[in-house]
Amino acid sequence: MWEESKAGPEMASSNSFNTTVLFKQEKGFGYRIPALLHIPNTDTLLAFAEKRLGSRDEDADVFMLRRGTYKKDLRNFEWEGVTSIQSARLNNHRSMNPCPVYDKDTGTVFLFFIVVFGNTPELHQIRTGKNVTRLCFVTSKDKGQNWSNPTDLTDCTIGQCINKWATFAVGPGHGIQLRSGSLIIPAHAYEKQSDGRVISRVFTFFSDDHGESWNFGDFVSSEECGECQMVSLDQADGSCVLYCNARSIKHGEKQYRVQAFSTDGGHTFTEGHLVKKLVEPPNGCHGSITHFPASKISHVSIYPVIEEYHCQQEKDASKSAEDFEIILFSHTTNFKSRRDLGIYLSTCPGNPHTWTKPWIIYSGPSAYSELAFVEFPGKEIPIVTCLFECGSKYECEQISFSVFQVDEVIKNILKKTTD
């Protein structure tokens, strides 16, 4: 069922960075679908994964968690042991797609997820048009040490619309909180069409009252897309633009990521468009995005370099003089298979041609990844962390965690782009 993990030459490439294996395949079970959440203004990271009793999606069992504490002298995190989140489940259902988000106003961690009845495959739901998936969350008030009983939102949030969907999912990976306080959970649904087709569409679940009630927005149109993540790009006038980066559902010799924008907090989106600088492997793969204002690193030596790069990319001179956002995107970089995980950068996501070439952080089989930007008080240099699936022979042998100083990430990405 599961192959034993064997270290090889490709593993050493990852270990050249500050890398720790957090979840490792064992006899009889393994781990998939990483999610990562930094608790703002603390030194705490929460790393989530699905424990699976076999190699298929239908073998998902329970969510597992490791809590990490940043140690300045180590420039890394010290991790507690693996624990299970037993409350994050419903009877006779399997739990999938961990999607955490933190409400800074109430100090609450929401862990969203889907539960699927029995061992029903996603493909069976799509082919038959009969949804057996439900939307749930649990919460924690103490940084992931204790968790509430599950809340099932399916009937009150999706209601009759669920009959129009063959199935749906959240994330996977982190949600976000907007400057307004609204909570955003990225999601996608397989919508049934009148001609019998089923089309995958991206949308958001959102809450404007700190999780007391939840609604969902309109689908991204045009390009068919699925698993996604979002970042909120704050504007000088106090508004925000929500940027969505999604997995393409198209099949062909070459595939690319899909992006779209929202100016109303994820209620509606522009049409989706392909980003031909960001490649997909056959059948696609999940990717992750994180961002931060450039002003967050104004004290770091790399700042003048990234500022100059941004001015070269931004054709509007008035905008280039303003504070700008730095977006990082992690994903596999090979057209032919899930391998060679890299990080891309953009300061002008509205122009899909401005994405850089990727800096490869893992050469070899790799798959789903999850990014987090972590800043510290004072003048300490912020860090970028990545939790990702990888292996020496197969992409899901383990879930590893890497830590980089933000200047190291930017320097290496821009070097790859200008070489």
Q: Which residues are catalytic?
A: 57, 368, 389
Q: What is d(CA 21, CA 126) in angstroms, rounded to the nearest whole number? A: 35
Q: Which residues pair with 391 in a beta bridge?
A: none
Burial of 36 (0-12, 13-18, 19+ CB in 10 A): buried
Alpha-carbon torsion angle 51, 54, 57, 60, nearest 10: -30
The residues, any chain, with a CB within 8 Å of residue 252's CB and separated by 6 or more, are none
The candidate with the shortest Cα–Cα distance to 286, out of 208, 143, 144, 389, is 389
Q: What is d(CA 275, CA 265) in angstroms, rounded to the nearest whole number? A: 22
For 248, left (φ over 0), alpha (ψ -120 to 50), or beta? beta
The residues, any chain, with a CB within 8 Å of residue 212's CB and separated by 6 or more, are none
Question: What six digits make up the tokens of 134?
Answer: 């439900």
Tell me the residue ranges of DSSP E strands in 270-397. 273-280, 288-293, 325-332, 339-346, 359-374, 383-390
Distances 280 to 192, 243, 254, 336 between C-alpha atoms, Å: 25, 19, 7, 9
Report the chain's terminal Cα–Cα distance, integer Å. 43
Secondary structure class of 197 (helix, strand, coil)? coil
Secondary structure class of 318 (helix, strand, coil)? helix
The candidate with the shortest Cα–Cα distance to 356, out of 347, 366, 365, is 347
The residues, any chain, with a CB within 8 Å of residue 32's CB and separated by 6 or more, are 49, 50, 52, 60, 368, 389, 396, 399
Q: What share of the chain is helix, strand, coil (3-state, %, to 5)?
A: 15, 45, 40
